[in-house]
Structure 1
Amino acid sequence: MQVQKKRKPYDEINVTPMVDLTLVLLIIFILLTTAAVQGIKVNVPKASSSVSLAKPTTKAITIDESGQIYLDTFAVTIDELETQLRTFKATTEEFPVVVKGDRVTQYGRIMEVLDVCNRVGIDQLGLVSERVRPS
């Protein structure tokens, strides 16, 4: 006569497969995020007088190769730029500003424009660039 052992019911869940799956998913997310965050090389486009605005309230500030500043398509000095932005900010609380600088413009000139935008209190600010296509 053989003695049969009584089988105990499982009262614990085996979590090892779930941990393996979680670690594999974590590795996949890390790899995909790392691949997506790599630096994108950009070429800043040349300034143009034709401005394509996404919204009617968007202001475009363009700095050409000689350092001349344009608000939309009108040439302004740095002081006139600040005055006009303050006037527009008084009438329209929230408006986006897009800064386009020629690729040979001195960086200091662009920083002056960004400083004016900061003093005026512009929250929505964008820099226009051209995406480099991989070869």
Structure 2
Amino acid sequence: MKRSRRKDLKQELNLTNMIDIVFAILIVFILCAPLMSQGVKVNLPQVKAPTMEQQKLLKVSITKNLEIFIADMQVDMESFESIFKSLWNGEMAVVINSDEAVSYGFVMKVVTQVQKLGVTKLGFLTMTPKDELVNGKK
């Protein structure tokens, strides 16, 4: 009887192709990362955003004359903390409603004050863009 001799197969893992793919993906991320951090001009007050439950939120409003209202009660920055503590129950979401003409710096002062008091659920009220209201895409 003849016995056939098989050649032993060498089973090696070829990593060359996988390394090429990893380097290609790395190059894509290196090229795209600076593009993602560039500033984009946006109009913040006009965005489409999900709504929040109305009964479980405290509204802080800022008018274009820099008047601050907490739940429709006018306050100044000195009495903001005490009045806010008396109206906020510790669990409610807080929504900032600011006029478009108010500077970003002033809004951030109010946001910082709210966050210092322990608010973790914070949102901003916005309007639906005018072109979506006209076209009926609400």
TM-score, normalised on structure 1? Answer: 0.61
**Cα deviation, residue 98, structure 1:** 2.1
**SS of the residue 2:116 aligns to:** helix
Structure 1 counterpart of 2:100, from 100, 103, 115: 103
Structure 1 counterpart of 2:56: 57
Q: What corresponds to 1:84 in structure 2?
A: 83
In the alignment, the residues of structure 2 paired with residue 79 and residue 53 of structure 1 have an alpha-carbon distance, to the nearest angstrom, of: 31
**Once the 2 structures are TM-superposed, how far is the Cα of residue 117 of structure 1 from its aligned partner?**
1.0
RMSD between aligned residues: 3.6
Count of residue pairs the alignment pairs up: 120
Secondary structure, counterpart of 1:61 in structure 2: strand
Q: 1:44 to 1:28 in 2, by over 3 A?
A: closer
> 3-state SS of the aligned residue for 1:94?
coil
For the 8 Å contact 1:61–1:99, the answer to whether it is kept is yes
CA distance in structure 2 between the partners assigned to 1:130 and 1:12 by the alignment:
61
Question: How far apart, CA to CA, are the structure 1 residues paired with 2:110 and 2:35?
Answer: 33
Q: Which runs of 5+ in 1 are unaligned?
A: 1-5, 47-51
CA 1:102–1:58 in 2, change beyond 3 Å: closer, same or farther? same
* 8 Å CA contact retained: 2:70, 2:84: no
Tell me, yes or no, if the aligned pair for 1:43 and 1:130 is still in contact at 8 Å.
Answer: no
* Identity value in percent: 26
Between the aligned partners of 1:59 and 1:32, the Cα distance in structure 2 is 40
1:20 aligns to 2:20 (yes or no): yes
Unpaired segments ≥5 residues, structure 2: 1-5, 130-138
Residue aligned with 1:78, SS: coil
